[in-house]
Amino acid sequence: MHIMNKHKSPIKAYKNLEFLNSREARVIRILSEYLEPLKRLRDFKVNNTVLFFGSARISSESNNSQMKEYYWEAEKLSYMLAQWAIDLKKKGKNFVICTGGGGGFMEAANRGASRAGGKSIGMNISIPEEQEPNHYISPELCFEFHYFFMRKFWLAYKAKAIIAFPGGFGTLDEIFEILTLVQTKKVNKKDIFIMLYGEEYWKELVDFDVMVQRGTISPEDLDLFRFCSDPDKAFRILKENLGQHL
């Protein structure tokens, strides 16, 4: 281990990269992924967010016409929300569009916010098959996480609404974790509005009624979220629910 520099003076622990990347310093790295976003979001006066989930594999040129349509609906919905939020003119930034920072529906949401002239957040994750941040994220609000659980924390922590577009394992993991937090009252239902966008997709993928029939969830658990398949209707519903947080 190299602990001396070329002038033979000791290296301070917080400048020792070999130590900071060691197993023993893991708790410091975890704390850094909590404290650095906390400071940056505070510095840029981000009060709360609207979070978009969805597959990274869908593009604006997708061969699947339904998924391509969903991409542009995500872009439109984000545009309308960002434009509305800009016009609120409150102290600090409310309802800032936030995504996981990658492609697909995440790109669409950041793209819509950018078209509206608003700032938007991208919380990227470093994984073996590298996910690059999309080009529509505001540079000062582009984050890169190593730990999935710290990324999940920051995706959800300031969110006042979550819109889940069609997605795969990652989207299912994220939306069902949020639903579990609300179901178990770790998060107050009144503090976060959950929308599953693309009713046909979600109902084909998950038979929530069967879960009720088999007793694995309660009938009232179906009230934890709303379905929607139209960006204009989704905007009206979200605007009505978000207004209470101002």
At 66-76, the pLDDT tens digits run 999 999 999 99
Q: What is the pLDDT of residue 226?
A: 97
Q: What is the pLDDT of residues 166-223, one digit of tens each?
A: 999 999 999 999 999 999 999 998 899 999 999 999 999 999 999 999 999 999 999 9
Q: What mean pLDDT comes out for the span 87-91?
A: 77
End-to-end CA distance of the chain: 53
pLDDT value at 7 more than 70: no
Q: What is the pLDDT of residue 244?
A: 85
Q: Rounded to an integer, what distance in angstroms lies between the CA atom of residue 16 and that of residue 178?
A: 37
Instruction: Let me know if residue 156 belongs to a domain.
Output: yes
Q: What is the pLDDT of residues 200-209, one digit of tens each?
A: 999 999 999 9
Name the amino acid, one letter, at 136.
Y
Instruction: Let me know if residue 8 belongs to a domain.
Output: no
pLDDT value at 4 more than 70: no
All residues at 6 or more sequence positions from 9 whose CB lies less than 8 Å from its CB, including other chains: none
For the chain, what is the mean pLDDT? 94
Residue 114: pLDDT band with limits 50, 70, 90? very high
Q: Which of 52, 90, 81 has the alpha carbon at shortest distance from 194?
A: 52
Domain of residue 235 covers 36-245
Instruction: Let me know if residue 26 belongs to a domain.
Output: no
pLDDT value at 2 more than 60: no
pLDDT value at 87 more than 90: no
Instruction: Let me know if residue 220 belongs to a domain.
Output: yes
Q: What mean pLDDT comes out for the span 120-144?
A: 92
Residue 130: pLDDT band with limits 50, 70, 90? low
Instruction: Let me know if residue 25 belongs to a domain.
Output: no
Q: What is the pLDDT of residue 1?
A: 52
Name the amino acid, one letter, at 142.
C
Q: What mean pLDDT comes out for the span 13-37?
A: 95
For 54, half-sphere exposure in the C-beta direction (CA atoms, 13 angstrom radius) is 32
Instruction: Let me know if residue 18 belongs to a domain.
Output: no
Q: Looking at residue 145, which CATH number applies to its domain?
A: 3.40.50.450
Instruction: Let me know if residue 205 belongs to a domain.
Output: yes
Q: What is the pLDDT of residues 221-232, one digit of tens each?
A: 999 999 999 999
Q: What mean pLDDT comes out for the span 61-90?
A: 92
Q: Rounded to an integer, what distance in angstroms lies between the CA atom of residue 246 and that of residue 188?
A: 17
Work out whether strand 159-164 and strand 193-197 pair parallel, antiparallel, or are unpaired: parallel
Helix and strand element counts for the chain (H, E): 9, 7
Pair 43, 37: CB distance under 8 Å? no
What token pair was written down for 171?
A: 């989207």
Give the count of beta carbons closer than 10 Å to the beta carbon of residue 89: 7
Residue 6: pLDDT band with limits 50, 70, 90? low
Comparing 61 with 108, the larger pLDDT belongs to 108
Instruction: Let me know if residue 40 belongs to a domain.
Output: yes
Coil, helix or strand for 66? helix
Q: What is the pLDDT of residue 131?
A: 76
Q: What is the pLDDT of residue 3?
A: 53
Sort 29 into a burial class: Cβ within 10 Å, 0-12 / 13-18 / 19+. middle
pLDDT value at 116 more than 60: yes
Q: What is the pLDDT of residue 62?
A: 84
Pair 50, 86: CB distance under 8 Å? no
Q: What is the pLDDT of residue 145?
A: 97
User: Domain count of the chain?
Assistant: 1
